[in-house]
Amino acid sequence: MLTFEFSDTEYSNRKIQTLALAAELGCDSVIAFGENRSGVAVTYLTGWSVTRAAVCAIDRNDTHLWIQFPNHVPYARRILRDCAIHELHGDWIQDLFSGRSSRVATLGPVDPRVRKHADTNGIALIPMDKEHAGLRMIKSNEEIAALQLGGSVSDIAAQALIDACVPGTRDWDLLAAAKDAYTRAGGRDYICYICVTDMHNPDRDVPSQFPEGRVLSKGSVVTFELSAAIAPEYPGQILRTVSLGEPIDPYPSLIAVAELVKADIKSAIAPGVNTQELILISQTIENSGFTTTDDLFHGFGMGYLEPVGTSSSRTPRHSPNMDLSAGMALVIQPNVTLIDHSAGVQTGELVVVTSTGIADMHTLPTGLITV
């Protein structure tokens, strides 16, 4: 079973860097909010995977975490280090602001009760989400190690999903196979998107987020996008297309273009390369008479991050003008579709920009998989 734990030094560095960003905004403390399994800033600063609601406050002296539901608190106290943990009830808002200045930086959606308290007491809440997302774009060595494990457990699940692609299986069974595989390997949920259609009469674009009860048969095409993690918020991401039986057009043509664009983009990635160059490579998609629905590439790991780029015909279009840097984690995913979006393929994986090119976080073979 795969396991991973960040060091105290890693969390200390995150806190120092976060407070430095806050200081640039005239703040000497930061409050981060999360709710209903969402709130990467809370996880980034404490290691806590947000359950119902969580509020984290840091300054140069202390880290405090308030957690909703008393039955969630014991687990937090077992796994978190160098962090004072409190129940989210009673006078917690008063305690949250105790000893703080009149300017406090915030991360995530601010709880309306907190905003009301701040307004009543003349406290300025200064959002720094954009600045903090920029900080999280560049991964430390420990973060890259966590992403590598996320890639490994995602590959394990992807192979199990592929192995389950036999006639008579439902898309729900494919999801169960993937979840069982990554759970047994020590993995955590992130996403598992699955789409099933008939190659002779395709009626599905990519990606498709949830199973629909479709049953696989000879001639089915399965596309999937799968992310599982060992460390919270550090998943891999792998996208593949499976054909049950010899594929027929348009699928061989779609996958050939998708694989070519993916390989060319991955070959072009290096520090200093501008994202406009990657988008220009994708013009092969439009020149071949195809288009896309999904992003062409995006930052990943501790959030869905910049740069986010699309091919030229995708609406809405994202065309970032950003130089790549070592330590960026990117998912490269040219999911090519027909113009009418009746058929498409998925291919892609997570990579990390290195000093000379990329490190691939996945080892599963690429290309159209025929079973």
Return the H-helix or E-strand segment holding 193: strand 188-198
pLDDT digits (tens, 9 = 90+) for 250-273: 999 999 999 999 999 999 999 999
pLDDT value at residue 361: 98
Q: What is the mean pLDDT of residues 351-357?
A: 97
% of the chain surpassing 90 pLDDT: 99
Domains of the chain: 8-137 (3.40.350.10), 141-370 (3.90.230.10)
* pLDDT surpasses 90 at 88: yes
pLDDT digits (tens, 9 = 90+) for 188-217: 999 999 999 999 999 999 999 999 999 999
Per-residue exposure over 209-233, b if at least 16 CB sit within 10 Å of its own CB, e if not: eebeebebeebbbbbbbbbbbbbbb
Over the Cα atoms of the chain, what is R_g? Answer: 22
CA angle 27, 31, 33 (to 5 degrees): 150
Closest-CA residue to 185 (of 239, 230, 141): 230
Question: Average per-residue pLDDT in the chain?
Answer: 97
Residue 148 contacts residue 173 (beta carbons within 8 Å): no
Q: What is the mean pLDDT of residues 104-122?
A: 97
Q: How confident is the model at residue 49 (pLDDT cuts 50, 70, 90)?
A: very high
Q: What is the mean pLDDT of residues 12-26?
A: 98
Q: What is the mean pLDDT of residues 163-180?
A: 98
Residues listed for the chain:
371
* pLDDT surpasses 90 at 61: yes
Q: Distance between terminal CA atoms of the chain? A: 28
Residue 312 contacts residue 286 (beta carbons within 8 Å): yes
pLDDT digits (tens, 9 = 90+) for 306-346: 999 999 999 999 999 999 999 999 999 999 999 999 999 99
- The rounded distance, in Å, linking the Cα atoms of 56 and 117 is 17
Give this prediction's pTM.
0.96
CA angle 326, 331, 334 (to 5 degrees): 130
pLDDT value at residue 267: 98
How many angstroms from the chain centroid is the CA of residue 121? 37
* pLDDT surpasses 90 at 37: no
Peptide bond into 307 cis (omega under 30): yes
Handedness of CA 261, 139, 148, 31 (dihedral sign): negative
Closest-CA residue to 181 (of 216, 157, 211): 157
